[in-house]
Structure 1
Amino acid sequence: MFETLKEQPADKILMLMQAYKEDPREQKVDLGVGVYKDPQGRTPIMRAIKAAEKQLWEVEETKAYTGLAGDPAYGDAMVNLVLGDAVPRSNVAAAATPGGTGAVRQGFDLARMASPGVRVFHSDPTWPNHLSILGHMGIEKVPYRYFDDETRGVDFDGMMEDIGKAGKGDVVLLHGCCHNPTGANLNPSQWKAVIDLLLETGATPMIDIAYQGFGDGLDADAEGVRMVASSVPECLIAASCSKNFGIYRERTGILMAVCNDPAKQKLNQQTLNYLNRQNFSFPPDHGARLVTMVLNDPELRGDWAAELEDVRLTMLGLREQLAAELQRLTGSDRFGFLAQHRGMFSRLGATPEQVEAMRESHGIYMVGDSRFNVAGLNKDTVPVLVEAIVKAGV
């Protein structure tokens, strides 16, 4: 049987990670993998998470299963973090998942159950795994214009024209904040226009929010999500705790199904439970329990929020340093967008050949489309990247 299997395309980011590891040069910079790194190049465990783990070790008495949707307290804490008071809790069905990726997969599965011929409209570009999962599931993918290569901002007119072609039974996939891979985000008035169009077409929004707190702050980053959830008849939200809690390997995520009719919440919750049972049965609990402890303890939550704000400001400072250095050396403000973008990623605007030249000459590792992880830099490696960009003629 196995002889019929076909070789699958390699993940470009994982290939880049391996090439970086095999590079013998001492001076090299990994800007590919999407994890936060501190100025020493480490991905630290956040203080509040460490404290919660110590507490949990003392009080945890069982490793028995929780429930198909995970611990209800985790669902409550995450719904509050993402949605605040935008919608009543009774309108939200929620289920824990193995990471944000698991939430995305379950969201696509739910959409297909509800609408077997569903088309998913996605930004061009989007996180590559969105497309990989949709392709694997056999769900039709429809790109909509999003990033303007000239302005390095959102092509909003193109986006609106394209998502206007979605209809009832279709899903419009949106990034909640810190767009991956471009770093270019919608502003509040643009979110409002998108909502109005969704109401007109009847398409269902699905929002992937993986970087809450990395852009403009915890509440500011959730503003678009809250606007959508409070305005449309129904929506899906896939959230991740990997980045903002620093628990990447614990695989902690959640899928929410929001409706404006609380009578439908029970059916939505049953459906989420069913999907979990079919895919992985009970979701992992360790990371979810730590998140719950942090969010429900005022002291831990305060320390977590303070450290998260330090992370956000560090990335913002790196963006500003990078833009300023490039302006100084090039005499041009064409890289000013780097300071305006938010989150871990931006697209530099380099060709694949220029990206390769930067790798060969300066040990700069970034994805071929010139998406790079700002958090992979520090104040000492910013000048190295700037020199590589200038010499490559970007």
Structure 2
Amino acid sequence: MFDTLKPAAPDAILMLMGLYRDDPRSDKLDLGVGVYKDAQGHTPIMRAVREAEKRLFEEQNTKAYLGLAGDVRFNAQMTDLVFGGSVDKTRLRAVQAPGGSGAIRMLAELIKVTNSDATVWVPDPTWPNHIPILRSATLKTATYPYFDAATSSVRFDAMIDALKALPAGDIVVLHGCCHNPTGADLTIEQWNVLAGVLAERGLIPFVDIAYQGFGDGLDEDAAGLRILADAVPELMAAASCSKNFSVYRDRAGVAFLLGRNSGEADIAQGQLQGAGRVLWSMPPDHAAACVRIILEDEALAADWRAELEATRSRMLGLRQGLAEALRRQSNSARFDFIADQRGMFSRLGLSGDEVKRLREEHGVYIVGDSRFNVAGLPGDRLEELAAKIVAVL
């Protein structure tokens, strides 16, 4: 059986990790891998998470399954965190999933069951794993205009024109905040226009909110999703705790759905849980339990919010610092957009050859489309990095 297999296509980021690992240069710099790193280049365990783990160890007295929906108290806390008071919660349902990717995959199964003929539209560009996850559920995918590489901004008029031409019932994937890989987000005014178009055209938003709290703040980053939830009759969303709680390897996420009414929401939730039963049987508990402990405890939640805010502020400072260093080194405003964008990622706008030269000649590792991890920037080496970037232009 296995002799018929062909080698899997290499993963570009994993290949980049291997090249970085084997590079003997002491001044090499990894800006490719998409996890948060502190000033020491380490992905830390947050203080509140560490305390929640201690409490969980002391209090948990069984490892029995919690059920198909997972930890319902975790789901309730995440519902409040993501949606606030923006929507009638009798129409909203939540099911725990293994990370944001698991939530996307579960919701893709729901689309297949409810409307397998629908096309799922994703922004161009989008997170590289979006399309493979959707296609793994045998869904049809296509792209709509989103990012203008020449201006490093959102092609909003082209985006709206494209969405206005779509047939009712199609699905539109949107990044709730901190657009990956571009860092270019919609404004509140644009979210309001978008909500009107989706409602008018009968299109169903599918929001991936993986970076809540990394952009402008917890509530600010969820504002677009909340605007949509107030405007459309049906909606899907996938939330991740990997970034804002830094529980990457422990995989905690939530799949949300908004129904036209409570009865339809109940039926859809049953189908969603059935999809989870087939995909992974029961969701993992550890990270979700820790998140629930944090959000249910006022002091722990306050400490978590404070550390998250420090993380967000640090990334904004790195963005500003790199933009200023690049302005000095290039004697131009070409890279000023970096300071205006949000989240962990932006694109430098380099060609493939320039990305290769940056790696081979200067030991700076970024993804082939010139996406770089803002959190990986060395705060004390921004001028040096800027000089290397300008050297390959």
Q: How much has 1:3 moved relative to structure 2?
A: 2.5
- Equivalences for residues 252-291 of structure 1 within 5 A: 252-291=252-291
Q: 1:99 to 1:244 in 2, by over 3 A?
A: same
Partner Cα separation in structure 2 for residue 362 and residue 383 of structure 1: 14
Q: TM-score, normalised by structure 1?
A: 0.98
3-state SS in 1 of match to 2:108: helix
Which amino acid letter does the alignment assign opposite residue 128 of structure 2? P
Partner Cα separation in structure 1 for residue 154 and residue 78 of structure 2: 29
Q: How much has 1:383 moved relative to structure 2?
A: 2.2
Q: How much has 1:21 moved relative to structure 2?
A: 1.1
Which amino acid letter does the alignment assign opposite residue 183 of structure 1? G
Q: TM-score, normalised by structure 2?
A: 0.98
3-state SS in 2 of match to 1:103: helix
Which amino acid letter does the alignment assign opposite residue 42 of structure 2? R
Question: In the alignment, what sits opposite 1:34?
Answer: 34
Which amino acid letter does the alignment assign opposite residue 16 of structure 1? L
Q: How much has 1:272 moved relative to structure 2?
A: 1.5
- Report if aligned partners of 1:94, 1:272 keep a CA contact under 8 Å in 2: no
Question: In the alignment, what sits opposite 2:11?
Answer: 11
- Equivalences for residues 127-276 of structure 1 within 5 A: 127-276=127-276
3-state SS in 1 of match to 2:32: coil
Q: How much has 1:308 moved relative to structure 2?
A: 0.2
Partner Cα separation in structure 2 for residue 357 and residue 341 of structure 1: 25
Partner Cα separation in structure 2 for residue 178 and residue 263 of structure 1: 34
Alignment deviations for residues 261-311 of structure 1 (CA, whole Å, 9 cap, x no partner): 122221122111111111101100000000001111000000000000000
Q: How much has 1:10 moved relative to structure 2?
A: 1.6
Over the matched positions of the two proteins, sequence identity in percent amounts to 50
Question: In the alignment, what sits opposite 1:94?
Answer: 94
Partner Cα separation in structure 1 for residue 372 and residue 221 of structure 2: 21
- Report if aligned partners of 1:209, 1:237 keep a CA contact under 8 Å in 2: yes
Question: In the alignment, what sits opposite 2:44?
Answer: 44
* Structure 2 alignment gaps of length 5 or more: none
Q: 1:53 to 1:235 in 2, by over 3 A?
A: same
- Report if aligned partners of 1:166, 1:172 keep a CA contact under 8 Å in 2: no
Q: How much has 1:47 moved relative to structure 2?
A: 0.2
Question: In the alignment, what sits opposite 2:56?
Answer: 56
- Report if aligned partners of 2:109, 2:272 keep a CA contact under 8 Å in 1: no
Partner Cα separation in structure 1 for residue 207 and residue 327 of structure 2: 35
Question: In the alignment, what sits opposite 1:69?
Answer: 69
Partner Cα separation in structure 2 for residue 41 and residue 359 of structure 1: 19
Greater CA drift, 219-228 or 191-200: 191-200
Which amino acid letter does the alignment assign opposite residue 362 of structure 1? H
Which amino acid letter does the alignment assign opposite residue 65 of structure 1? Y
Which amino acid letter does the alignment assign opposite residue 31 of structure 2? L
- Report if aligned partners of 1:362, 1:384 keep a CA contact under 8 Å in 2: no
Partner Cα separation in structure 1 for residue 229 and residue 176 of structure 2: 11
- Report if aligned partners of 2:112, 2:137 keep a CA contact under 8 Å in 1: no
Q: How much has 1:85 moved relative to structure 2?
A: 0.5
Partner Cα separation in structure 2 for residue 233 and residue 36 of structure 1: 35
Partner Cα separation in structure 1 for residue 203 and residue 51 of structure 2: 43
Q: How much has 1:131 moved relative to structure 2?
A: 1.4
Q: How much has 1:39 moved relative to structure 2?
A: 0.4
Which amino acid letter does the alignment assign opposite residue 212 of structure 2? Q
Partner Cα separation in structure 2 for residue 138 and residue 65 of structure 1: 30
Partner Cα separation in structure 2 for residue 127 and residue 270 of structure 1: 28
Partner Cα separation in structure 2 for residue 78 and residue 220 of structure 1: 16
Question: In the alignment, what sits opposite 1:121?
Answer: 121
Partner Cα separation in structure 1 for residue 358 and residue 10 of structure 2: 22
- Report if aligned partners of 2:195, 2:232 keep a CA contact under 8 Å in 1: yes
3-state SS in 2 of match to 1:94: strand
In angstroms, what is the RMSD of aligned CA positions? 1.0
Q: How much has 1:380 moved relative to structure 2?
A: 1.8
Q: 1:85 to 1:260 in 2, by over 3 A?
A: farther
* Count of equivalent residues: 393
Partner Cα separation in structure 1 for residue 270 and residue 376 of structure 2: 41
Partner Cα separation in structure 2 for residue 270 and residue 139 of structure 1: 20
